[in-house]
Amino acid sequence: MNNTPDFIDSELTIRDEKRSRFHVIPIPMETSVSYGGGTARGPRAILDASQQLEAWDGRSLPVEWGIYTTPPVVCKGSVEQILDRIKQSVTRTLSFNALPVILGGEHTVTLGALQALKKSGSPSFGIVQIDAHADLRESYEGSPLSHACVMRRATQDLGIPLVQIGVRALCREEEQFRQEQNISFFDARDLHLLGMPEQLFPPDFPDHIYITLDVDGLDPSVIRATGTPVPGGISWHDTLTLLEKSISGKKVLGFDVVELAPVPGDHASDFAAAQLVYSTMGIIQRKGI
C-alpha cells in the first residue's frame, strides 16, 4: 500500500495525529478467507473511494473532529504476530484519546483491536456486530483465529458481551453457543418479518461499545464485493438506522469495517464501504456521548 492516500484526504482540515478524534488504521490482513479472496486489497480500495466523499454527510461534518490516517499495519508473518502489531497500533491511537477506525482486511483484525482495548484499561464494553455470519465457531479449517471464530474469541476468551445483527448464515455449533451464552441477536429474517426492534440491548448491556461492521451484513445489492455475499441482507438505510439505535446514548470506543474484497470495475461496493465508514463517524458525532 505505497503512497496510500489519507481517508477523505481532499476535504481534511485537521489531520494531525495528536488533534484528530478519528484515527483510521488500514489493516490489509488476509490469512484465513474461506471462499472469495481479496480482503487484503480492501483498505486501499476504501481509502481510494473516500476521495469521492462529501465532507457534509447530509447531517453533520465528521471532518471537523479531525481524521488522521495511520500507516498500514504490516500483515506479514503469523496471525499472532499480525494481531500483536494491530494491538500496538490501536494502543498508540488510544494513547491520544482518539477513536480507532479500522479498515480490514479479514474479520480477524477485530480481535487485535478488542485485545488492545481490554489491555488499555478501557471501561467495560460490549460489541455490536453487523454481519451475515455469526463468527462463533471454536475453530475453522484448523485455526481458532480464523475470521469465522472472531466473535467466539471475543465472547469466550475475552468475556465481552455481544449483540448480533443481520446474521443469516450460521452452523448448528454456533446456534448452540448462542443459546448457552445467552447472546442477544436480531437475525436478518427476523428483521424482515418483524421490522426494526425498539430496543437492541438487554438491560445490563454496557454503556460503552465497540462496533464491528462486516460488509457482508448488508445485502449484496448494496455491497457485492465480499468473500461470501449472502442474499437477504440489511438495506442501506436500515443499516444506518440500526447504527443510530446502537450508538444513541452510548460511548463508542472504536469501530471497524471489514471483509471488503474489491472487484475490478465494481466502484459501487468500494464507495459504499467508504461511505459506511464516514456515515458511522457522523452518527458517532451526532448521537454518541
Binding residues for Mn(2+): 107, 131, 133, 135, 214, 216
> Element (H or E) spanning 184, and its range?
strand 184-186
Minimal CA–CA distance to 257: which of 272, 268, 273? Answer: 273
Q: Do the beta carbons of residue 163 and residue 185 sit within 8 Å?
A: yes
Unique residue bearing C-alpha cell 463468527:
135
Total Cβ atoms within 10 A of residue 261: 27
Q: Do the beta carbons of residue 117 and residue 127 sit within 8 Å?
A: no
CA distance 214 to 149: 14
Question: β-strands 99-104, 251-258: how paired?
Answer: parallel
CA dihedral 34, 38, 39, 45 (to 10 degrees): -160
Total Cβ atoms within 10 A of residue 178: 20
Q: Do the beta carbons of residue 161 and residue 205 sit within 8 Å?
A: yes
Binding residues: 107, 131, 133, 135, 214, 216
**DSSP 8-state class, residue 108:** T
What does residue 215 show for φ and ψ, rounded to 5 degrees?
-65, -20
C-alpha cell at 137: 465457531
Q: Do the beta carbons of residue 112 and residue 100 sit within 8 Å?
A: no
C-alpha cell at 165: 445483527
Amino acid sitting at position 74: V
